[in-house]
Amino acid sequence: MSEQPRNIGEALESVEGFWQPHRLVSINDYDVKVVRIHGEFVWHTHPDTDELFLVRSGCLTIQLRDHDVELGPEDVYVVPAGVEHCPKAEGEVEALLFEPKGTVNTGDAGGAMTSPLREL
């Protein structure tokens, strides 16, 4: 990891596809990831960890089984460990994710949308 400052906007500009998290930086045992989002993801859980979403631009819906959480620019939401959720965005969203190192984007669901963590 670089000891130089990282720019979030520049990092997001380098991300070409949707639903492909890229490590921006790491702190202790956590990764801060940038991701571009569009469309609907898969229903999944992270049984052992919370997941923090910070929306930089766009509107993101975190679908939960009993209600939806709507996030806009500069909104933050934490999905508690073990809570099934499905992010979706009708337009493009730029977001940051804060998760323990090794957290798989599709959690316990696996499948075609599973993406390896990419480095910037």
pTM for the structure as a whole: 0.92
The two beta strands, 85-100 and 60-64, are antiparallel
Closest to 106 in 3D by CA, of 95, 117, 96, 98 = 117
61-79 pLDDT, tens per residue? 999 999 999 999 999 999 9
Closest to 39 in 3D by CA, of 100, 94, 87, 106 = 87
Amino acid letter at 39?
Answer: G
Which pLDDT band, with edges at 50, 70 and 90, does 38 fall under? very high
> What average pLDDT does the chain have?
95
Domains located in the chain, CATH noted: 22-108 (2.60.120.10)
